[in-house]
Structure 1
Amino acid sequence: MNDGLQAVFLDRDGTIGGSDIVEYPGEFKLFPYTAEVIERFNGKGIKVFSFTNQPGISRSEAAEDDFVRELKAFGFDEIYLCPHHHKEGCHCRKPSTGMLEKAAKEHSLNLLKCAVFGDRWTDIMAAKSAGCIAILVLTGSGAAAYEQNHLTSDVQPDHVAENLKAGADWVLKPSVERSR
């Protein structure tokens, strides 16, 4: 395992595939490199978890089971999904850390040895609040999120990557080669 990295949390929409809008199961397509990235982490003994807000479930626009089935088929070890609308005030919806904390408890993880990949600032905020390595990808909403927040936010990613594959390349380098 690389520098003790225990797990990675991958956001869905805009990070592993799709675009800057939610595409429901059946319409959603992975980026061409995503399956390879998931296999690469698994091959190094690193757990790969889904980490996604899906408020369409609470609005009855989609079924949670469909998301779980789709994400499991992509090769995720576990699915952490918040089905709540942002006005519901739950503890799991990003930027809250509920999904990360639940995964840590269920899999005996040290979140300081985990990385979060996402295309929205809420992904970065959740990661940093939980002590994870935070990687902003510029796919999906990532470029717009970076432009909107990198000069003004107190919370900053540890790394900004062109896409999930480039972010994986960075996080899998020995820590002496990456500057955190």
Structure 2
Amino acid sequence: MKDIEAVFIDRDGTIGGTGHFIHPDDFVPYSFSPSALLLLKENDVKIYALTNQHRISKGEASLSDFRDEFSSMGFDDSFICPHSSSKGCRCHKPKPGLLQEAASKYGLDLAKTVVIGDVGSTDMLAADAVGAIKILVLTGWGKGSMRDYRHTWSGVEPDFIAENLLDAVEWILE
């Protein structure tokens, strides 16, 4: 296994769903996601959710709805931006505020962490900003991110392109 202190995992399009907002009450993980999360836990890897959820600011869900969802999936903690991208906060990916908050809270060396996500222009840019290992999954927006929107994050290369979350986890653990 690579020398990894923690793995940050995006929600929509990475763990499940379509890439679009789905309320936690209705969110369904992909069939392979529970196995992927369990593999990390069995190998004593801390797992943290890392997600932009601007619908919280619109009152369509609450922070606790998401925290409860991630806790029920076995995440050690969750780092959630509730703001819209127009607010200019430092926590909305691609800004690295959520990753920096986690590093401060848990004493992490972000160069020894992995970010797994399906969007290059948010997940991969945030990971790159802190020197984390970058894994792009091809589920959710992943294929479009590589093909149609590659220009929005052209200066960054993923360390690995995975078919899905389980493929990403297996790569981390090899």
TM-score (norm: length of structure 2):
0.95
What code does the residue aligned with 1:65 have? S
Which residue of structure 2 lines up, in the alignment, with residue 14 of structure 1? 13
2:140 aligns to what SS in structure 1? coil
Q: Is the aligned partner of 1:48 residue 2:47?
A: yes
* 1:27-176 equivalence runs, <5 A: 27-121=26-120, 122-150=122-150, 153-173=154-174
8 A contact 2:125–2:156 mirrored in 1: yes
Cα root mean square deviation, aligned: 1.2
What code does the residue aligned with 1:35 have? P
Distance in 1 between the 2:24 and 2:43 partners?
Answer: 29
Q: In proportion to residue count, which structure has more helix?
A: 2
Which residue of structure 2 lines up, in the alignment, with residue 178 of structure 1? none
8 A contact 2:2–2:172 mirrored in 1: no
Distance in 2 between the 1:26 and 1:142 partners?
Answer: 24
Structure 1 gap segments, 5+ residues each:
174-180
What code does the residue aligned with 1:157 have? P
Distance in 2 between the 1:103 and 1:37 partners?
Answer: 21
| Segments of 4+ moved more than 2 angstroms | 148-152
Distance in 2 between the 1:144 and 1:64 partners?
Answer: 28
Q: Which deviations, in whole Å up to 9, do the C-alpha atoms of 1:116-169 show, x marking residues without a partner?
A: 000111100000111000000000111101102446701121111110111111
Q: 1:150 to 1:85 in 2, by over 3 A?
A: closer
1:28 aligns to what SS in structure 2? coil
Q: Is the aligned partner of 1:23 residue 2:26?
A: no
Instruction: Give the drift of 1:3.
Output: 2.8
1:165 aligns to what SS in structure 2? helix
Structure 2 gap segments, 5+ residues each:
none
